[in-house]
Chains A and B, each alone.
Chain A
Amino acid sequence: MGAAGAAPSAPRSPAPQPLLVDLAVAAVAVGFGLSVGLALTATSRHQLAAPGGAALFLGNLTGLAGTYLALVMVLLISRIPFVERVLGQDTLLRWHRRLAPWPITLIIAHVVILTIGYAQAAHTGILHEIGPLVNGFPDMGIATAGFVLMMAVSVASFYPIRRRIKRENWWGLHLFMYLALALAFAHEIVLGPSFVGHPMTQLVWSVAWAASAGLVLVYRVGLPVVRSIRHGLVVEEIRPEGPGVVTVILRGRHLERLAVSGGQFFEWRFLARGMWWQAHPFSISARPQPPYLRLTVKCVGDFTTALAGLPAGTRVALEGPYGTFTAHALHTRKVALIAGGIGVTSVRSLLEDLPKGTRPVVVLRASREEELVLREEIAELVKWHGGRLHEVVGPRTAQPIEHLAELIGDLRKRDTYVAGSESFVASVTRLLALLKVPQEAVHADVYAL
């Protein structure tokens, strides 16, 4: 396994195409402009002047803008490969999280403002108007159900609440957002002033949503299922690497056709009782060596602990590969790799993929000697590359981050890859910024719990 410098036998992930993503961003943004514009053109001046007119206009505007942003939210997590290759799954998730408050707020505003508007138009009270709105218009019953569902899922995603919920439970709940959006769809088409009597806008809106749903189905469900079946991975062996760290070796078919770059990760699904329904991200710790593929995992939670005890023969499904922590990200000729703790896994597989002449300087950081897992393999790869290896052991107080930078020296001339826990990566990238290392030459791989 993992012989240094062995001829790579499986293809790499295709190179990222940033221009395509620029075009996709432009297309999505044009759509947003169109949505806001449609809201404006759907209201005539005399409607605006009528009782409740201003509120009805605002309610329509917030509804269109909010729903369009919800569509963008769906696209951001749809795992479209050409987008993921450029931005990376972590960046896409970050954008998804950052954008989230906007559609939610706009859709709440839509509901509140329209209720006020209809109450003004009908000369009744706001609470009095809720009944007629929900019952009196087509598709408003299910739309209301969708809104309630959306609010429930949103509350669960609100950070102070989310961190109290188990990741896999939260994720299961979060899937209901798709249902909420689907329930709300009909009332948009049937009641939306921009859509009533405008078959063209109805068609475009429907196609946009159907296409997004299709992308989600293809890339989050279809492709992973096809890939998992094609490769038919099973657990071959689980090997301890160090305190609480295991390497899982998988055996599968056609791995020479699995395009994956060193430094990438898959979402793994171990098809054992109580585990099959959750997918967890783990980096490959070596490029595929058909018929083997391996990942190295630190046991930190229920799932990873159970993982270490899986019997050989357990079937494994995978989704991916994901991540931009690859040799594709190189800007310069030379490379520095900094791994904190378990971050060594992606650095290990990335080392296999670095082009010749990159002369990697590798810094491995651990609190204790025995936590320096995979150190022999790393040493062998570094030697093959003609690079340099530094092992830094000790608590952070004794081994400050600044020290790591001193070990490397010519940081500004190198592409620096940083892998490890959130706090480790954050402090290293902060340091690199202080040292005026250009941002595009810093590549991070965060291991979240």
Chain B
Amino acid sequence: MRRAAIAVVATVGGFAGVLGFNLGGSRAPLLQGAPNSNSNSNSNSNSNSGSGSGSGSNSNSNSGSNSNAGSASNPGTTTASGSGAPTTGLRSALGNTYQYGYGQLAVRVTLNGSTITKVDTVGLQTAESYSQQIAQQVIPLLRHEVLAAQSAQVNGFSGATYTSEAYLYSLQSALDKLHKK
């Protein structure tokens, strides 16, 4: 059957075309392996008061595009000295990793004194693309809200309820480690 042959050849051609295009392109196809680019080994266990429960699991797999840019410049190390009084200097802590159904994430927070100066997402990993996109859209918004409110007591975003919850829980656990109310 001539047309059956045409159909088979054309199908294989189309299939090969996509794979070829993709291997040449910038996206990360199945065959090429994951872009485990920045495996930010969270070695900065500063002031991580013992409980590193979630911290092990998020040692890898930053799937692509989250923005933990400044994490290296972390001078780390609490300068918090004695007396429990509100301290000055930079301190940061990594929150617990939260599994939220469609993925998982953890948040690292940096305080200057008692002011939240930076919130980074370090362990974002999603099951599928839609959740990845949602997370990427909502995380900058959440960070903005948190920096404005100076706490984890902000409203989540509808349409990204699970992501918001995971983000804020992880943030709260990080803040707890730094004893920030």
Contact = CB atoms under 8 A, between A and B. Distances in A.
Interface stretch (B17-25, B74-82, B90-98): B17-25
Interface stretch (B125-133, B138-146, B148-156, B164-172): B125-133
Interface in A37-53: 37-38, 40-48, 50-53
Contacts of A123: 99, 101
A235 to B, nearest CB: 41
A36 interface: yes
Contacts of A57: 30
Contact of B127 (A33, A41, A51): A51
B31 A40 contact: yes
Given A33-B16, A47-B34, A41 B27 contact: yes
A118 to B, nearest CB: 7
Given A30-B11, A33-B12, A193 B129 contact: yes
A60 B129 CA distance: 11
Given A46-B61, A193-B130, A37 B17 contact: yes
A422 B84 CA distance: 94
A202 to B, nearest CB: 12
A29 B129 contact: no
A33 B11 CA distance: 4
Interface residues of B, number: 42
A36 B28 CA distance: 16
A40 B18 CA distance: 9
A30 B12 CA distance: 7
Interface in B1-58: 2-3, 6-19, 22, 27-36
A26 B8 CA distance: 8
A407 interface: no
B15 A36 contact: yes
Contact of B35 (A28, A44, A48, A52): A44
Given A25-B6, A33-B18, A45-B33, A121 B130 contact: no
A190 B134 CA distance: 11
B63 interface: yes
Given A26-B7, A33-B18, A118-B127, A40 B102 contact: no
A105 to B, nearest CB: 18
A34 B10 CA distance: 10
A211 interface: no
A47 B15 contact: no
Given A29-B7, A122-B101, A196-B133, A41 B13 contact: no
A354 B163 CA distance: 73
A194 B122 CA distance: 25
A43 B30 contact: yes
B80 to A, nearest CB: 37
A26 B10 contact: yes
A87 B33 CA distance: 44
A53 B19 contact: no
Interface in A109-162: 117-118, 121-124, 132, 137-138
B128 to A, nearest CB: 5
Interface of A: 21-22, 25-34, 36-38, 40-48, 50-53, 56-57, 60, 117-118, 121-124, 132, 137-138, 190-193, 196-197
3 smallest beta-carbon distances between A and B, as pairs: A33-B14, A37-B18, A29-B10
